[in-house]
Chains A and B, each alone.
Chain A
Amino acid sequence: MAFPSTLFRSRPICLFAAAAALCATPALSHEAWLLTPSEIEALALEPNPAIFQSRLVLGGGALIASFAAALALAAEDRFRHIEDRLASPIAPYAATLGALILRLGLAAMLLLAATGGLPRHGVVAWTEPTLFVPDMQLQMVPGWDWLIAGQALIGLALAIGFGTRLCGLAMIGLSGLGLGLFGMPFLSYAPHFAAPGLMLALIGGGAISVDRLLEDRDMPPPAPVVAGILWRAALAAVGLGFVYLSVAYKLTQPTLLIAILEHGNFPSFGLGLDWIALLMTGVEIVCGLLLALGRLTRVVALVLIGAISFLAVTLGETPLFHANLYGMMAIFAMAGPRIPAEAPRGVAIFGRVEA
């Protein structure tokens, strides 16, 4: 059994990922609602930190980040065989357990959004149905109440793994529809819901799915070459989504990020919070770009899982706010940048297991 030794050898990677995770807490599109009235009043008067206006600091930071990325990419080229060997015990499960985690994460988000069970801060639970996320309240788009039933149906289907590939396509459709209905604010969310939809459309329901029982008859998968290209497109959407979030909410609104860090008593490690904010911004942008390019995918996925978890703990948020991201990162951490291989029938936990 190779697992303990691989774990031992992967310890430096895990430590690096944990350290980087502290600097990459992603997504601030909804966290602004956590600020108290007095914090908002103080924020209105807060000038942008000088380092976020300094060409010297930002240029130097970009240079250092480029150098660090170059080193990491060189290390990936050199040690790819080690990474593959370390990941080999979990890689075969990406299309089965990974798909299951992604399906259940999306199902939970859809069902809670449809029922208003995961409300925005300050909104009474079960009163405001939304599209995907707490901010996008359906009351703001009169006439689109059918999205409640639509999301609930897709959520239920994903939960049991019925028609998963079609549900994945429906997720892409809903992401596009959300952009049309809510406009630019939905751009913070659309890539991170369209991409998992595309991923599920490509790999199907995975383990413990009705689709597995029905032998994946809901929709034929595309040709392998096309599937590979589309998988890269999903990676690019996820990565660029992170880049967009970090630019829109961190790089160009640094006082908001700092206020949220102060609100959550984020550890500053002896640095000023403005420097912590700059570091987080840089790490997240680099992580997003690497994901978009399909490089260092496993390491970046581990970093982002750690970062999202750290953010949730620091701000006292439920992990369900980011269940879509957890699902995608779980698959990337297992499979790397490549589309997971066809799910081996032997690892089905429930359903027909072929000899």
Chain B
Amino acid sequence: MRTRVFARHGAILAVSAMLATLAAAAPHINAGNTPPRSVFLRLPGDAPEPRVAMDLEARADGTWRLRIDTEDFTFTSLCVTEAAAVPVGHAHVIVNGVKVASAFHPVVDLGALPPGEHDVTVVLRGQDHRALLGRSGMIRANAVVSVGAG
């Protein structure tokens, strides 16, 4: 009899218990308003925050060279599935909203840019490609370059 009752109601008890547990736990987890951990890697607040600056250089052959200047950040070409919260990794180079390169070194050749204004952004990423988050958000540098016709 007891077995039959469990067979009949065990599934709904299990579903209800699991849902109740998750409903109780989720508000605690979501209360901190932390950005999604699948996309962002928050650096510890007590460590020096990395800084990034950039310089775009027009070359004689019509191409552009990007130099990424960082402080308290180490470039590496080694990628891992789950990185520690340390300022080590690479940078993503974004031109006009489109990622064009992963920079594993501070110097990147962007090639020729078509005439017009180009918005270039560099964002520091961890070894697992998550965007590094400092105390004031993503660690990034931005510049606009104008390329003349001809």
- A positions within 8 Å CB-CB of B: 28-29, 32, 35-38, 40-41, 43-48, 52-55, 58-59, 61-62, 65-66, 69-70, 73, 77, 122, 135-137, 139-140, 182-186, 243, 247, 249, 251-256, 282, 285-286, 289-290, 293, 295
Q: Flag if B121 contacts A37 (CB, 8 Å).
A: yes
- Point out the residues of chain A lying under 8 angstroms from B121, CB to CB: 37
Report 7 cross-chain contacts, Cβ distance below 8 Å, ordered by A residue.
Answer: A38-B97, A53-B27, A58-B24, A66-B16, A73-B11, A122-B99, A137-B79
- Known A-B contacts A53-B27, A70-B12; A44 and B38 likewise in contact (beta carbons under 8 Å): no
Q: Flag if B97 contacts A36 (CB, 8 Å).
A: yes
How many chain B residues sit at the interface, stated as a range, is 35 or more
Contact with A along B1-45 (1 / 0, CB 8 A): 000000010111011101110111011011101011111100000
Q: Flag if B18 contacts A58 (CB, 8 Å).
A: no
Which of B31, B37, B81 is close to A183, meaning CB atoms less than 8 Å apart? B81
> Residue on A with the closest CB to B31?
A53
Q: Flag if A55 contacts B23 (CB, 8 Å).
A: yes
Which of B33, B38, B97, B99 is close to A256, meaning CB atoms less than 8 Å apart? B38
> Residue on A with the closest CB to B138?
A44
Q: Flag if B24 contacts A55 (CB, 8 Å).
A: yes
State the 7 A-B residue pairs at the shortest beta-carbon distance, nearest first. A256-B36, A62-B19, A58-B23, A62-B23, A253-B36, A66-B16, A182-B81
- Point out the residues of chain B lying under 8 angstroms from A37, CB to CB: 92, 94, 97-99, 121, 123
A29-B38, A55-B27, A253-B36 known; 5 other A-B pairs, CB under 8 Å?
Answer: A32-B38, A37-B123, A41-B138, A285-B18, A295-B11
| B137 contacts the other chain (CB 8 A) | yes
- B positions within 8 Å CB-CB of A: 8, 10-12, 14-16, 18-20, 22-24, 26-27, 29-31, 33, 35-40, 79-82, 92, 94, 97-99, 121, 123, 128, 131, 133, 137-138
Q: Flag if B27 contacts A62 (CB, 8 Å).
A: no
- Point out the residues of chain A lying under 8 angstroms from B131, CB to CB: 40, 44
Q: Flag if B19 contacts A77 (CB, 8 Å).
A: no
- Known A-B contacts A122-B99, A285-B19; A253 and B82 likewise in contact (beta carbons under 8 Å): no
CB distance from A327 to the nearest CB of B (A): 25
State A169–B117 Cα separation when bound (angstroms). 57
- Point out the residues of chain B lying under 8 angstroms from A256, CB to CB: 36, 38-39
Q: Flag if B30 contacts A289 (CB, 8 Å).
A: no
Q: Flag if B12 contacts A73 (CB, 8 Å).
A: yes
State A247–B37 Cα separation when bound (angstroms). 13
Secondary structure call for the B interface: mixed
Q: Flag if B30 contacts A52 (CB, 8 Å).
A: yes
- Known A-B contacts A62-B19, A62-B20; A140 and B80 likewise in contact (beta carbons under 8 Å): yes
- Point out the residues of chain B lying under 8 angstroms from A46, CB to CB: 35
CB distance from B132 to the nearest CB of A (A): 10
- Point out the residues of chain A lying under 8 angstroms from B138, CB to CB: 40-41, 44
Which of B8, B14, B24, B79 is close to A77, meaning CB atoms less than 8 Å apart? B8
- Point out the residues of chain A lying under 8 angstroms from B97, CB to CB: 36-38
> Residue on B with the closest CB to A286?
B15
Residue among B38, B123, B137 with the highest chain A CB neighbour number at 10 A: B38
Q: Flag if A44 contacts B35 (CB, 8 Å).
A: yes
CB distance from B105 to the nearest CB of A (A): 17
Q: Flag if A183 contacts B82 (CB, 8 Å).
A: yes
- Known A-B contacts A62-B22, A185-B81, A285-B18; A252 and B30 likewise in contact (beta carbons under 8 Å): yes
State A137–B78 Cα separation when bound (angstroms). 12
CB distance from A294 to the nearest CB of B (A): 9
CB distance from B12 to the nearest CB of A (A): 5
- Known A-B contacts A37-B99, A70-B12; A286 and B19 likewise in contact (beta carbons under 8 Å): yes
> Residue on A with the closest CB to B133?
A44
Q: Flag if B33 contacts A47 (CB, 8 Å).
A: yes
State A293–B13 Cα separation when bound (angstroms). 11
Q: Flag if B22 contacts A251 (CB, 8 Å).
A: yes
Q: Flag if B30 contacts A48 (CB, 8 Å).
A: yes
